[in-house]
Amino acid sequence: MKQEINYMKKILFGLVVFVLMSSFALAQGNGTGNQVQIQAGNYITPSGGQVQIQAQENNQFRLESGAVFAHTSMQMTQEQAGNGTTLRATLSNGRFAEIKIMPDAASEIALEQLRLRVCSEDNNCTLELKEVGQGEQVRAAYEVQVQKQARLFGLFKAKMQVQAQVDAETGEAIQTKKPWWAFLASESEESE
């Protein structure tokens, strides 16, 4: 009887170890099991949005959502995940950044930071998905750059290059850059 109980304990222990090892292996495989290099096509994101990916020259891609597009040269993968396709960028520190924010949402956040109404080729506004930061602080971000019209001291017309960065994972506005003399100028709401 005692031997049978010990035998049952060993079997039960083995079964528990097997289940734990299997679940660990599945969890490890879930994130990378069916990842492939990013490919051109139309995709639905896990959040239900649509994104169109187009291959460009020099290993660049164009991501388009809504009427807004961003260029990127980042190493990216895509993975079919449940209801949609997850996009990930490989960062220089070896980490993968999931691209949860699409170009239309990133553009909206950046335009609010820069006090602009529209970002288009007409006003020389560009949107790029790129790696920003250094070391362990590296992350994928959208960078909007535009040349804005301003009035220096309220009298002289001037053009100033401004930019804003939006985290591609969280949608957080990371940084806004303006020339050092921007505090002396009044900015127009539209760039020309």
Residue range 77-87, pLDDT digits in tens: 888 877 788 88
Residue 27: its pLDDT value, please? 42
Structure tokens at 83: 């209801």
Residue 25 and residue 53 share a domain: no
User: CA-to-CA distance for 186 and 151, rounded, in angstroms?
Assistant: 5
- Residues 178, 158 within the same domain: yes
Check whether residue 4 and residue 57 sit in a common domain. no
Do 83 and 121 belong together in one domain?
A: yes
> What is the predicted pLDDT for the residue at 7?
64
**pLDDT mean over 37-65:** 86
pLDDT in tens, 2-50: 677 766 666 666 655 555 555 544 444 444 446 778 888 888 888 888 8
pTM over 0.85: no
Q: What are the pLDDT digits (tens) for 130-169?
A: 999 888 889 999 999 888 777 888 788 888 888 899 999 9
Question: Is residue 50 located within the same domain as residue 24?
Answer: no
Supply the pLDDT for residue 28. 42
- pLDDT at residue number 113: 86
Cα separation, 162 vs 26, whole angstroms: 46
**Angle of CA points 171, 172, 178, to nearest 5°:** 120
Does the pLDDT value for residue 190 go beyond 60?
Answer: no
Cβ 63 vs Cβ 140: under 8 Å: no
In a domain, 3, yes or no: yes
Residue 192 lies in a domain: no
Task: Give domain status of residue 76, yes or no.
Answer: yes
Average pLDDT of the residues in 87-98: 89
35 within a domain of the structure (yes/no)? no
**Same domain? 69 vs 123:** yes
CA–CA dist 29, 35 (Å, integer): 10
Indicate if 17 and 54 belong to the same structural domain: no
Q: Is residue 7 part of a domain?
A: yes
Which residues does residue 105 pair with via DSSP β-bridges, in sequence order? none
Q: Are 188 and 146 in contact (CB under 8 A)?
A: no
**Based on the domain organization, do 96 and 155 belong to the same domain?**
yes
Check whether residue 59 and residue 144 sit in a common domain: yes
Query: Amino acid identity, residue 137?
Result: Q
191 band by pLDDT with thresholds 50, 70 and 90 = very low
Domain presence at residue 142: yes
Regarding whether 49 and 19 lie in a shared domain, the answer is: no
Domain that holds residue 9: 1-30
* Number of domains the chain contains: 2
